[in-house]
């Protein structure tokens, strides 16, 4: 018999929801497969009905909706909005893990050169040689826009593809990502999953 694990996610935008929802699912699977006390059935992330940049009343309402369905809540904010993670922690009884890249989520998409090689026309020259250096990019959205091949694909398709194909070991070399994984592991231990 397996124990269910349903994560919830409140993110800043649609592309963040796409990328982080997939990444959360993959990372939770990896963590629980590696060291779970029992078999864990990780569900895809439940996405909140509002974005984390909205007003606090709407976020509180979304939290209430997620609280009935989820075991663990992930709150995404880019570096300028770090304080919102703590506000969410105080508004719910669920364990809350902040997903806070140094600058923007787009930096995490730039960490794995091999994943981008699969897109014909990607400009790999703009990607740092060392994955950890994505945190030094001043404007990750701008760099991502220049890396993306000029094809008839919607930018959200790249967020989904990289979310599914980024090497988690490569991404773990990015300090903010590694910190998020460590905080997630701690939360899973607190919930008795690990």
The torsion region of residue 192 among left (phi > 0), alpha (psi -120 to 50) and beta comes to: left
Averaged confidence pLDDT in the chain:
88
In this prediction, residues 55-59 reach a mean pLDDT of 69
Nearest to 16 by CA among 75, 62, 61, 87: 75
In this prediction, residues 76-97 reach a mean pLDDT of 76
The pTM of the full predicted model, rounded to 2 decimals, is 0.91
In order of 7, 15, 41, 89, 128, the CA distances from 61 in angstroms are 17, 22, 27, 14, 40
Looking at the chain, the whole-number percentage of residues with pLDDT higher than 70 is 92
**Cβ atoms of 127 and 116 closer than 8 Å:** yes
In order of 65, 79, 125, 162, 166, the CA distances from 12 in angstroms are 17, 11, 29, 18, 21
Helix axes 175-190, 14-35, angle to 10 degrees: 60
What's the pLDDT at 67?
Answer: 83
What's the pLDDT at 37?
Answer: 72
Residue 52 scores a pLDDT above 90: no
What's the pLDDT at 82?
Answer: 64
């Amino acid at each position: 018999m397996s124990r269910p694990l349903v994560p919830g996610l409140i993110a800043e935008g649609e592309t963040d929801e796409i990328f982080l929802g997939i990444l959360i699912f993959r990372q939770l699977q990896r963590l629980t497969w590696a060291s779970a006390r029992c078999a864990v059935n990780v569900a895809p992330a439940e996405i909140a009905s509002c974005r984390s940049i909205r007003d606090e009343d709407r976020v509180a309402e979304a939290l209430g909706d997620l609280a009935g369905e989820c075991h663990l809540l992930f709150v995404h904010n880019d570096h300028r909005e770090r304080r919102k993670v703590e506000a969410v922690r105080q508004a719910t009884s669920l364990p809350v893990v902040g997903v806070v890249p140094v600058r923007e989520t787009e930096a995490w998409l730039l960490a794995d050169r091999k994943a981008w090689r699969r897109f014909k026309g990607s400009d790999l020259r703009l990607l740092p040689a060392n994955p950890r250096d994505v945190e030094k990019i001043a404007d990750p959205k701008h760099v991502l826009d220049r890396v993306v091949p000029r094809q008839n694909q919607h930018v959200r398709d790249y967020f989904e593809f990289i979310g599914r194909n980024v090497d988690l070991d490569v991404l773990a070399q990015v300090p903010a990502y590694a910190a998020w994984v460590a905080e997630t592991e701690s939360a899973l231990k607190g919930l008795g999953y690990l």
